[in-house]
Amino acid sequence: MSIEAFDVVDLIRVKRDGGELSTEQIRWLVDAYTRGVVADEQMAAWAMAVFLRGMAPREIRDLTFAMVDSGERMSFADLGKPTTDKHSTGGVGDKITLPLTPLVASFGVAVPQLSGRGLGHTGGTLDKLESIPGWRAKLSNEEFLAQLRDVGGVIAAAGAGLAPADGKLYALRDTTATVDSIPLIASSIMSKKIAEGTASLVLDVKFGSGAFLPEQERGRELAETMVRLGADAGVETVALLTNMHTPLGYAIGNANEVRESLEVLAGGGPSDVVELTLALAREMLALAGLPDADVEGHLAAGKAMDSWRAMVLAQGGDPDAALPSARESETVRAERSGVVTELPALPFGIGAWRLGAGRSRKEDPVLHAAGIDLHVRAGDEVAAGQPLYTLHTDDPERFERARAALEGALVIGDAGDPVADGGPLIAARIAG
């Protein structure tokens, strides 16, 4: 039996009492947990101590790099083209990755987008794309690199070999009420992105009712922490702080979000989805060496749509196939005339989840046709009897719980009443 360098109980005690762990202690802790020497209950205690006491910037950096070093690193050095990636902290109706990746790829830039699945009220990019008949999320490293070289854009599942320590810790945090800790969120996101090997990264860090961190100040703190981690790793990183007080676009779900993304790629779509897609594309292309790229022109000329079709075909999907439609639908109408003064994201995210668009556990299936289509936005004038939103599911027994989540969420006031929309869509840009 080998003798370990440290005693995990001592490390838990240090964090519990507000102390700092050394670089060697953090590296040992991550390695020992990955090897199974540190038990889940011990790591859970340490994570709770971090949640309550926080971490110094140096500790967050050490934790991030230790998780990167727990597994393999990808390299795109032989691609012969610049690489850039984007990560969103997630929200309601956030389908931006779908139009954004092919738009950026249409400029000859490689976009290695390793994405995840939805959990709770925030949707997963892979769940959305799996609405497309035949499309597959799992690619070998060879397939991934070949698609980057030949097509430019890839949206795929991250392999188990990238930052495995983060995979273990992420699952533990989800069951121990330690998810919304800035040191743990930042190290989790950035360890995977650094291990992924991209040269540059744009972060979409959300605040508001439907975000991971509702408070704008905490969103900014998370963005600044991640930008600093990127710089420390040699990954040029920029963050946009964006508003998730109300849902993005009109579609919340999986198949219906793909439909809305196709509208954007065809030159239409909701103004907020288009605005954020274009803003993130400009940031990504600037980091890739194309600061003057005509992103609007590529959308209008259909070049982004061409890239989308090539990406879907490369992963076995049929870009012309019909997307799933729900067997059951129910429309909620306005009881009075007036102005929509409140349309908070969170209840609609929960409502779509309860209809089957999301999952409670990672292993649960999703209903690809389930979700909500909004017919109005905050600030819109409505007439009595006008459709406000439509619920979709294959299981009509789900309607009752979804309606309960949405009870009182959409508020219709009088003309001149203040509208709760959280302010501008893009609140700040944060760079190193």
- Catalytic residues, by residue number, are 87, 166, 173, 188, 192
Looking at the chain, the number of H-run helices and the number of E-run strands are 16, 13
Best CA proximity match to 119, nearest among 353, 371, 359: 359
Q: CA 141, 298, 111: angle at the middle one, nearest 5?
A: 15
5 within 8 A of 43, measured Cβ to Cβ: no
378 within 8 A of 421, measured Cβ to Cβ: yes
State the DSSP code for 27.
H
d(CA 209, CA 222): 16
Q: Give kind and range of the element (H or E) at residue 411.
A: strand 411-413
CA atoms within 13 A on the CB side of 27: 8
333 within 8 A of 387, measured Cβ to Cβ: yes
Beta bridge partner(s), residue 411:
342
Place of tokens 């109408």: 333
C-alpha to C-alpha distances, 357 to 117, 214, 254, 349, 410, nearest whole angstrom: 11, 22, 6, 9, 20
